Amino acid sequence: MNVERHHAYAVATAGALLAFTLGPSQALVPSMGGWVPAAYAATADNGLPQVAKYVKVSDATVQAGTYSFVSTSSNDGKLRIMHRTDGQAKLDRCAAKNTGEVLAPVDCEVGGLSGKHTHEWGIESVDGGFAIQSKTGDGHYVHIESGKAEAAAGAQALQIQRMDDGAFSIGRQVGGAMKYLAYTAGGWSVSDTPCGISLYRQTMVAPQVVPNGKGDTGTTESQPFAKGTGGSQNYRIPALTTLADGTLFAAIDARWNTQADAGGLDTIISTSKDNGKTWSYSFPNYFNDSTDAYNNKATAFIDPVVVQDDAGAIHMMVDLWPGGVALNSAFKNNPVNGSGYVQIEGKQRLVLYASADADEQRAAGAERGEGYTHYVGDFAADGKAPVIKVSDNTVEYYVDREFFLFNKDGEPIYCPQIGSSDYVQQNVFYFNATLHVMATSYLWHITSTDGGATWSAPNMLNEQVRAGRSSNDCFYGVGPGRGLVTSTGRIILPCYTYKRGHGDGNSSVIYSDDNGRTWKRSSDIARQTSEATVVEADGRLYLFARHGWYAVSDDDGATWKDEKTLASSGLDITTTCQVDALTYSQKIDGKTAIILSAPTGGSRANGKVFVGLVEKDGSLTWKYNVPVTANGSHFAYSCLAEKQDGSLGLLYEAANADIIYRDLAIEDVAPGALIGNKRLVTVPLYGTFSHTVEGAFTGYGDIDRSIVDIRVTDNEDGTKTVAYTGKAEGEVRFTEESSGAVYTVRVAPRQLVERAVDPGQTISEALIGGGITHDPDTAIATAKLASSPLVDVIGEVPGSLGTDASFTGEAIALSRALFTFTADGDGWTVASTVSDGKAVYLNLDSTGFPGNAAPRKIDLRVGEKEGTVKLYDAAANRYLHFHRNGTAVFDRCTNDTSGADCYELYRKTEGASSEIAGYERLNGKDTVKNGDKLLIVARVDGADGAADTLYALNPSLSTSNKYAHVVKVDPERTSTTLSITGVAPGVTDIAVGDTVYRVTVRGLMAPTFSWSDDYSHATATFERAEGGDAVEMDCTVTSERVEPTASKPGRVTYTATVERDGRTYTDVRIVELPAIGGPDLDPLPDPAPGQPGTLPEPEQPEAPGQGADGPDGRPGTNGSSALPATGDAAAAAGVFGALGAALAAWGVRRKRR
């Protein structure tokens, strides 16, 4: 938003000119494709050519010269540099990284536009003010008109004025009123009020030399790669493993400010020694050819795979793309078919070219092993290898083991860093270097023997697994995630090919039998496959690959056979994404178990972890699964690790390049399974759970059946079904006798909702559906269900939210989904609010999540269907899209002309009788008025004559649940209400489906009694059902004595009486007296727990005062409490009290004898 500011009226004089001396021009040298900058060797006085920096203008005088313009405010908190692409009228924007005294970046970081002067603007004096001219090819000028700012031919006189806060305003008179250049939600435009702009003047300075590598380290809490870790905002392609000492080791691509698969990526690792609570990160693979920002000519370390060998060394392999080439997102997306090596004098040599351009290398004969000008010789003891010129066999340069270049005297040589005015040491992988490796992919392998603290020099594996083959694809790269060390000690790392013009090729592995010194390549999977993961189970290796295939190896991974679809094994996953798998350390249900993570549902969403059991014939049975994300939430690449305690760690890609680490208990991944010799069975309170076992099932006879009931039935196939019914919260344990398996049965509510009421008070709970499956104790509370049309309850047509396409979640009034359309120049801002009052805007920056906190200018365009509109976000260059294929979620697309981008608009109008009662349907975009509050509705045609279904855009800021952005128009929705009425103080449960409502009726419950040892005094304690301070009262104690005779024992009856609130409560204790002259009594046996009936029970006479009711409206109890135990079983305090009295009496008798 623009904030009005006061001018200082320090208007720069039109005749003031900026004068500076240009540094020495950088020499140009010819290449195969034209001219490229020559490299300079640094000298002691840094004799490199001067470079441009942009320094903030802090004085009041504007001088003629070259500038960059930066906004001083924005709607999303990101300041923007004014950008213009040659030939375009639009004044575009690039994000500024540093807006202090020196601006960064100095150039556009969109690779194809770097070096095109898109951020450079010349200020020159003209009659009446200043002209601002683009330094791009056509030299167009900034024009300010009514309602827009653009680049056009011909100078226009503008006023540049300094403001009170040090920024500048740029404007001109248009139709008698001043219009100002301004940054708005839709980009650079105009404003009626001055808008501050920072001016950065181009200044020529001596360059700095950026050191090699990245020594940045640090720590994070709970997450290894939270946004901002190491300076990166985006991460992709997780790898995770557990080291021998229990340390969690994670690796991933640091993608900085991009999500692209090339253009300046590096490897960041993070380790945790406390099971994932804290993490420590560092950068083992890092090239400084660019500025930690996307550029399509920058190098890329991508797709890590990690494993620890039996000797303790960590092996990490990544793909390395040279600057300017990759499969996508690079300057050239057509890599050379080749290994990068050519056999020269009987040995494979890394060959170098004069150009980094893949097309130029190909034209020079690279795919025939020709056209290279230099090659790398053998490495000497000092870690350097000569770079030999082919034409005369002389040594012109040297490289070290990371392939940085040195001149023939051993001194580093330098080239410009991409995206900055600094210089870096040349490397044969850098686009700006003098010499270049073949424009293909490279397998970069490094090792660490100290847990990732330090790393070896790289071992380039192309020479061993790509070179010398009869044919070579443009890519042979890593199957990312976790590698495998087999039972024989063989190290296996998955790989795959990509065929230019055809796509994914075939999976295979590379393997080493000497701890990573030498490597061989396996046979390929015959089917089209891609990234893969490999596990060992029951003497076989299983390879699971993207595209939905798996294969088996009987020779430790050298060859592969028995290729089958994962679907044929019963596994239903998304096949267009990487999968990960591991073999669990313990058997599950008596069989070797493979645990696999993948997205499901046909897209990169709804992640699950599956458990597959290996059968005797080697086939797989996928018996268990647990959701990790749901509701359409993003889940892409992932990696699993088993931790030392047997739980699982999972690292996965969430939305917007977020990386999430989660712990998963194995008992949750395989619920109810026999894991090793233990089985945890979780039973819902008041519900049931069952599983099948083979053979006998015994040993549970002594469990506490007040907590759980177990029933075993025989099946026709000889197995048995074990069914558990949860009766009260708690846990029982037993050992199944035939198998020796230790069972823990835990009863708990699946969902617990706690509510409190007063006696006589009624509260209501809105339910989605279901009936009462467990009734309350009606002496404490009552419950009943009622249903009615929801439209009658809320007074308007309802909508249904959901977590999937069934939309059976919360019901809302449709008016909550209204968006306000506010005119914004020639477009609209479309806004609403979420439940906490925060603003939400239609903004198509994120796939599947159209709600955003940042405003965005939206164009309304005519839809293909009559009376509909299309909503276009120009900044994102996307239309709002709705998936009408059954998934029923909003998305974005470039332009779908099938009608999937068409929407109906509805205005709330009293008495209107459209398809949505109470709403008027608008007839196209021209009927929208400024300030309209409208429903944005997608229509899905009904099948086979069924009625159409309408879905409205729902205001939401969720970035994890795509369905949160959708509300189904649901006029037939009914309202089910659970009414709960308090009767008397106490606690009771009501179960509706999987939900247990625990109801506390507030107030004092019937008392518990405590006695002195000689029964001369008793205290009554009244507990509050809701908790809090109890009330204690002294009781009146009376006694009645019946004397013993020679043949009959006597007794003393003690009665405690207390009155409160008009009610009388009593408790009775009886002491038996032995018959006179009777024999000594044997010692009492110890009572069995919970079995007071094993002792002689004292007779319980009718106690006086029992005619009064207790506070809950029931007859008073003899020493019992109205406080129910969990599950509403009344506490048997009176019974145990009587037992205590009997024990005391026996003790007195023995002492007296």
Express each pLDDT in 645-691 by its tens digit: 999 999 999 988 899 999 999 999 999 999 999 999 999 999 999 99
Question: What are the residue ranges of helices labelled H in 673-830?
Answer: 790-794
pLDDT number for residue 1108:
34
| pLDDT at residue 773 tops 90 | yes
What's the burial of 380, exposed, middle or buried (CB within 10 Å: 0-12/13-18/19+)? Answer: exposed
**CATH architecture under which domain 677-748 falls:** Sandwich (2.60)
Measured CA distances, 48 to 30, 206, 295, 862 (Å):
20, 7, 23, 57
Express each pLDDT in 242-287 by its tens digit: 999 999 999 999 999 999 999 999 999 999 999 999 999 999 999 9
| pLDDT at residue 897 tops 90 | no
Beta strands 300-308 and 314-321, pairing class: antiparallel
pLDDT number for residue 406:
98
| pLDDT at residue 26 tops 90 | no
| pLDDT at residue 1056 tops 50 | yes
Average pLDDT of span 485-497: 98
High-pLDDT (> 90) share of the chain, %: 77
The residues that bridge with 614 in the sheet, in sequence order, are 620
Measured CA distances, 684 to 368, 905, 987, 1127 (Å):
68, 46, 19, 12
Which residues neighbour 743 within 8 Å (Cβ) at sequence distance 6 or greater?
Answer: 678, 679, 681, 700, 733, 734, 735, 736
| pLDDT at residue 38 tops 60 | no
pLDDT number for residue 1079:
52
Express each pLDDT in 58-104 by its tens digit: 888 888 999 999 999 887 778 999 999 999 999 999 989 889 999 98
User: 62 vs 1069, which has greater pLDDT?
Assistant: 1069
| pLDDT at residue 34 tops 70 | no
| pLDDT at residue 896 tops 90 | no
Residue 805 three-state SS: coil
High-pLDDT (> 70) share of the chain, %: 89
User: 1122 vs 834, which has greater pLDDT?
Assistant: 834
| pLDDT at residue 1148 tops 70 | no
Average pLDDT of span 1068-1076: 95
| pLDDT at residue 206 tops 70 | yes
Residues 63 and 20 sit within 8 Å (Cβ to Cβ): no
User: Which pLDDT band holds residue 16 (cuts at 50, 70, 90)?
Assistant: very low
User: Which pLDDT band holds residue 1104 (cuts at 50, 70, 90)?
Assistant: very low
pLDDT number for residue 894:
87
pLDDT number for residue 139:
96
Express each pLDDT in 394-411 by its tens digit: 999 999 999 999 999 999
pLDDT number for residue 1136:
36
Largest CA-CA distance found in the chain, in angstroms, rounded:
135
Lowest mean pLDDT among 6-10, 812-816, 911-915: 6-10
Express each pLDDT in 915-959 by its tens digit: 999 999 999 999 999 999 999 999 999 888 889 999 999 999 988
Backbone angles phi, psi at 768, to 5 degrees: -80, -30
Q: Determine the straight-line distance between the first and last CA of the chain, rounded to whole angstroms.
A: 97
Residue 1007 three-state SS: coil
Q: Nearest Cα to 959, choosing from 846, 873, 830? A: 846
pLDDT number for residue 1117:
34
Lowest mean pLDDT among 23-32, 305-314, 714-723: 23-32
pLDDT number for residue 1097:
37
Average pLDDT, the chain: 88
pLDDT number for residue 1106:
31
Calpha distance 867→885 (Å, rounded): 22
| The domain defined by 28-205 carries CATH number 2.80.10.50 | yes
pLDDT number for residue 61:
80
Which residue ranges make up each domain of the chain?
A: 28-205, 483-565, 576-676, 677-748, 752-791+976-1001, 798-970, 1008-1152
Average pLDDT of span 187-212: 93
Residues 593 and 614 sit within 8 Å (Cβ to Cβ): yes
What's the burial of 984, exposed, middle or buried (CB within 10 Å: 0-12/13-18/19+)? Answer: buried
Express each pLDDT in 994-1023 by its tens digit: 999 999 999 999 999 999 999 999 999 999
Distance from the Cα of residue 1071 to its chain's centroid: 68
Which residues neighbour 978 within 8 Å (Cβ) at sequence distance 6 or greater?
Answer: 764, 765, 767, 772, 783, 784, 785, 990, 992, 997
| pLDDT at residue 548 tops 50 | yes
Cis, peptide link before residue 1096, omega less than 30° from 0:
no
| pLDDT at residue 1081 tops 50 | no
pLDDT number for residue 1078:
56
pLDDT number for residue 46:
60
Task: Give this prediction's pTM.
Answer: 0.77
| pLDDT at residue 898 tops 90 | no
User: Which pLDDT band holds residue 793 (cuts at 50, 70, 90)?
Assistant: confident
Measured CA distances, 801 to 30, 46, 362, 404 (Å):
64, 65, 56, 57
